[in-house]
Amino acid sequence: MAKPRVATTSLAGCFGCHMSILDIDDRILKLVELVDFDKSPIDDFKTFTGRCAVGLIEGGCCNEENVHVLQDFRQHCDILISLGDCATMGGIPALRNTIPLRECLEEAYLHGPSVYNPSGRIPNDPEIPLLLNKVYPCHEVVKIDYHLPGCPPSADTIWETLVALLSDKPVQLPYELIKYD
């Protein structure tokens, strides 16, 4: 029987959640016995090659490309998991949500104290995806099946969750894994 496929992506995140996936250390060898990776920065597949059992999403949506990728994940994955606080709540990028978009861009490219930008222009190449009016957590854009909180969720949390899902058992996360203060 073919191994179930897992896809991962980083949207408006810092890659910290992906680092945490790698933190499962040598268990990654066990993981590749259990699953095949599909679209993911881990194997650098840029597009989906087939139907996936699980999709792990890091980061919320801050631009149109994020939305596009997330919708693509929804269409290819049976189960979608919001991985980490950025995916579940918007996280640090969502700090801009109370500030008008134009002000954010001006601060970032024109007026910020550390900005060096002799052209005095805000980058506007057609290649650059358009920003959304605010940063959205993933579940406001597509249906999300599970949320794993934490910044980032620990490797053990991710491991326990994946193993439980792939072996069709209830997830049991001990208190220490979901306690954050």
Binding site residues, ligand SF4, CB under 6 A: 13-14, 16-17, 58-59, 84-86, 91-92, 151-152
Instruction: Identify residues 49-88 at the interface with other proteins (CB under 8 A).
Output: 64-65, 67-68, 71, 74-75
Report, in Å, the least distance between residue 118 CB and ligand SF4: 32
Read off the amino acid at residue 157.
Answer: T
Query: From the list ligand SF4, other proteins, none, which binds 38 (C-beta under 5 to 8 Å, kind-based)?
Result: none
Which residue do the tokens 């601060």 mark? 107
Report, in Å, the least distance between residue 78 CB and other proteins: 10
- Alpha carbon of 18 to those of 15, 23, 56, 102, 168: distances in Å? 5, 9, 9, 31, 23
Establish if 121 lies at the interface with other proteins (CB under 8 A): no
How do strand 146-148 and strand 61-63 relate by DSSP bridges?
A: unpaired
Separation of alpha carbons 171 and 180, rounded Å: 18
Report, in Å, the least distance between residue 147 CB and ligand SF4: 12
First-to-last C-alpha distance (Å) of the chain: 43
Query: From the list ligand SF4, other proteins, none, which binds 132 (C-beta under 5 to 8 Å, kind-based)?
Result: other proteins
- Alpha carbon of 96 to those of 23, 73, 100, 125, 141: distances in Å? 30, 25, 8, 22, 18
Instruction: Identify residues 8-37 at the interface with other proteins (CB under 8 A).
Output: none
The 10 Å Cβ neighbour count of residue 40 is 20
Q: Of 17 and 77, which CB lies nearer to ligand SF4 in the complex structure?
A: 17
Binding site for other proteins (CB under 8 A): 64-65, 67-68, 71, 74-75, 100-102, 105, 124, 126, 129-134, 136, 139-143
